[in-house]
């Protein structure tokens, strides 16, 4: 499980269970329900010990209704994901690190175990979580970490320049402040998602010229930073009138191929502003001003200025002709002017419709 000895040492030094609150949240049918450590100790222990599972520590931004929680909004990330991200950071003792998304404070403590607590700043947007993390960090012996309640999309300029910025919440657009606040040669590691797909972990190196560029190094799914939660909404574009007015044709989309992870990721990088989901054997697409629907029998309905199903077929065709590159061959270059995506050659990319 541990790719480097220092990660194992840090893992043994920082007790994960000490960063978990007394009440966590578990899936229960269509909602999340509270699980109390004292009342269900065995289930609790199972959760904490599962290397592949995140433990949800907050739902609905801390305000669930009596029926339960709808959306997880904070978690202690899955051990496997935490370890993989630490390894990608290539941390050296003494480096200055900024973490976005303190959550419980567990990962900040691991970072501190490597670089020194006074070298770590961590930002949490939720006031209650930020103060809980400060308490847990202090009790675990990492009170020297600077743990602030702040919007991490702005970074934290007073502590810059950083050698490493690591986000433990996903972005659809890498905030320019992160690039500005990372020193030349420094790294930005962030879960990156498009509206289409949410599996990428991108590792960007900041250049002397102040751009940040690098490849996707893994497939990982994290909750979004608060300011970037919005995705295109079908109810904003779909109506009975638009259904009647939609253009009908036979679907050219190979939906089985689209369902494979690397294909889905690739199409997402070509159509970053379009959401797509399968429902009862049919497929939906939704962009800012258009929608498409492919019925199980292959009939496609498209509405709006864009033909989203046709765009998907073209993106899949592009991916096929490019030799079906895997997620790891894709990369991102972030400059003052926006985001460019690429596959293989950073010089031959395309503008990503974000940021
Ligand atoms: C997956 S959790 C982080 C896990 C955490 N690193 C740990 O070790 O427990 C994601 C966290 O990001 C926080 N978050 C979301 N948007 C944020 C933002 N704009 N700035 C700072 N924190 C944010 C959430 O409140 C949540 O606590």
Residue at which a domain ends, from 76, 107, 127: 76
- Expressed in angstroms and rounded, the spacing between residue 20 Cα and the centre of ligand 1 is 14
Same domain for 21 and 11 = no
* 215 in the same domain as 284: no
Of 2, 16, 23, residue with least CA distance to 77: 16
Helix (H, G, I), strand (E, B) or coil at 188: strand
Answer yes or no: are the C-beta atoms of 3 and 87 closer than 8 Å: yes
264 shares its domain with 186: no
**pLDDT tens-digit readout, 71-93:** 999 999 999 999 999 999 999 99
123 sits in the region (left: phi over 0; alpha: psi -120 to 50; else beta) called: beta
The percent of residues above 90 in pLDDT, for the chain, comes to 94
Q: What angle do CA 94, 176, 223 make, to 5 degrees?
A: 80
Question: Is residue 350 situated within a structural domain?
Answer: no
Q: Tokens at residue 131, please? A: 């103060």
Ligand 1 touching residue 74 (CB < 6 A): yes
Structure-block tokens of residue 158: 């007073």
Q: What is the pLDDT of residues 124-180, one digit of tens each?
A: 999 999 999 999 999 999 999 999 999 999 999 999 999 999 999 999 999 999 999
Shortest-distance atom of ligand 1 to CA 76: 9
36 and 116 in a common domain: no
Domain that residue 161 falls in = 5-15+80-225
Cα–Cα distance for residue pair 14/285, rounded to 1 Å = 44
Question: Where does 98-221 have alpha helices with state H?
Answer: 106-115, 127-139, 176-180
Residues 214, 248, single domain; the answer is: no
Task: Tell me if residue 29 falls in helix, strand or coil.
Answer: coil
Å from CA of 186 to ligand 1 middle: 22
- Active-site residue set: 77
Q: Confirm or reject: Cβ of 81 under 6 Å from ligand 1.
A: no
Distance CA(92)–CA(131), nearest Å, equals: 28
Distance from Cα 74 to the centre of ligand 1, integer Å: 6
Q: Looking up tokens 């990372």, which residue turns up?
A: 182
pLDDT over 90 (residue 272): yes
Please say whether the beta carbons of 100 and 130 come within 8 A: no
Instruction: Give CA–CA dist 352/269, Å, rounded.
Output: 7
Q: Is 197 in the pocket of ligand 1 (CB under 6 A)?
A: no
How many domains does the chain divide into?
A: 3
């Amino acid at each position: 499980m541990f790719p480097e000895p220092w990660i194992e040492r840090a893992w043994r030094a920082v007790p994960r269970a000490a960063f978990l609150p007394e009440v966590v949240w578990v899936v229960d049918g269509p909602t999340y329900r509270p699980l109390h450590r004292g009342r269900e100790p065995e289930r609790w222990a199972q959760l904490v010990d599962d290397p592949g599972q995140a433990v949800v520590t907050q739902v609905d931004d801390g305000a669930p209704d009596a029926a339960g929680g709808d959306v997880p909004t904070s978690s202690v990330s899955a051990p496997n994901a935490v370890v993989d991200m630490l390894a990608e950071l290539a941390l050296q003792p003494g480096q200055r690190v900024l973490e976005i998304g303190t959550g419980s404070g567990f990962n900040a403590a691991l970072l501190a175990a490597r670089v020194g607590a006074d070298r770590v700043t961590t930002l949490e947007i939720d006031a209650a979580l930020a103060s809980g993390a400060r308490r847990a960090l202090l009790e675990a012996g990492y009170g020297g970490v600077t743990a602030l309640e702040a919007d991490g999309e702005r970074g934290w300029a007073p502590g810059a320049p950083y050698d490493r910025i690591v986000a433990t919440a996903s972005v659809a657009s890498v905030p320019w402040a992160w690039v500005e606040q990372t020193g030349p040669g420094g790294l930005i590691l962030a879960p990156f998602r498009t509206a289409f797909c949410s599996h990428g972990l991108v590792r960007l190196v900041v250049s002397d010229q102040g751009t940040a560029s690098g490849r996707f190094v893994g497939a990982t799914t994290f909750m979004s930073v608060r300011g970037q939660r919005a995705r295109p909404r079908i109810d904003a574009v779909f109506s009975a009138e638009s259904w009647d007015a939609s253009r009908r044709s036979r679907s050219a989309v190979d939906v089985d191929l689209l369902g494979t992870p690397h294909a889905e990721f690739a199409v997402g990088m070509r159509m970053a502003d379009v959401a797509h989901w399968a429902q009862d054997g049919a497929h939906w697409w939704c962009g800012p001003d258009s929608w498409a629907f492919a019925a199980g029998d292959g009939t496609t309905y498209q509405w709006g200025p864009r033909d989203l199903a046709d765009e998907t077929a073209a993106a899949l065709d592009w991916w096929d002709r490019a030799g079906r590159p895997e997620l790891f061959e894709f990369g991102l270059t972030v400059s003052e002017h926006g985001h460019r995506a690429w596959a293989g050659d950073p010089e031959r990319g395309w503008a990503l419709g974000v940021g």
